[in-house]
Amino acid sequence: MPPSVLTAIIDPREVDSEVHNMDICNRYPLEFYKATLRYANPKEFVGIIERVEDRLESEEKYYGLRFTHNTTDIALGVKESAYKTLESMESKLKHQMELAEKILAVDEHDVAERVINSHFLPDIIGNLRAFSRQEFRCVKCNQKFRRIPLSGKCTRCGGNLTLTVHEGSIMKYLGFSKKLAEKYNVSEYTRQRLKLIELETISLFESELKKQITIDRFFE
Ligand SMILES: [Zn+2]
């Protein structure tokens, strides 16, 4: 498909403002390195380390943007991220946590907390919601039903009906989240959220009628 919009002239004032923070100096001053030791706020260096933003009002915004390290090829870099080459969510998670543990500047406990809160929990909650509002499908003719017909069979061909959202899609991430919370130092609040969601899934999926128990349970 051809592009629908082409920009012939790029005005740095109109591009994504994130890049306005990119530094354009060829070396950092000593005071910068000293400030890193006391974890200084980067804002302290506004005006000291030149950034794209500092040039937006002048002609120099178009040329002479400097850099600290040379490269032989401006197109060098990762062509396919590990997020795509690793297939299962479990292995993506495993590799991400291994990396977090290796990198000194990264707090792996915080990573675990963020993965649970911003990735797994919303997913589990979304799937729980989808499960309870799901459609049913005929295994023979694929007819969809918003509600199960009273006969319990497909009204078109008499075939058996099945779920379109399965228990597995909800329980899958709950298991990962629980493992993360066990291994890493995750906040009590997050642990409790997981516990509550687990109780909710148990009440949804575990049928009291179908639960099998052995007779000796009555003699304990
Ligand atoms: Zn059918």
Taking residues 203-212, report their average pLDDT.
71
**Cα–Cα distance measured from residue 62 to residue 60, given in angstroms and rounded to the nearest whole number:** 5
Q: Where are the beta strands (DSSP E) in 49-197?
A: 136-138, 144-145, 161-163
Distance 168 CA to ligand 1 centre (A): 24
User: Are the C-beta atoms of 23 and 49 separated by less than 8 Å?
Assistant: yes
**Ligand 1 center to residue 134 CA distance, Å?**
17
State CA 15 to chain mean position distance: 26
Give residue 155's pLDDT: 94
Sequence-distant (6+) residues with CB within 8 A of 146 are 135
Res 209: pLDDT: 64
Q: How far is the CA of 155 from the centre of ligand 1 (A)?
A: 7
What is the widest separation between alpha-carbon atoms in the chain? Answer: 88
Give CA–CA dist 93/107, Å, rounded.
Answer: 15
Q: Flag the least confident range among 23-27, 44-48, 168-172.
A: 168-172
Instruction: Tell me how far CA of residue 163 lies from CA of 136, 147, 148, 167, 172, in angstroms.
Output: 5, 11, 10, 9, 17
161 CA distance to ligand 1 centroid (A)?
8
Find residue 163's DSSP bridge partners.
136
In the predicted model, is pLDDT for residue 52 greater than 80?
A: yes
pLDDT confidence band for 212 (50 / 70 / 90):
low
What residues does 161 pair with on adjacent strands? Answer: 138
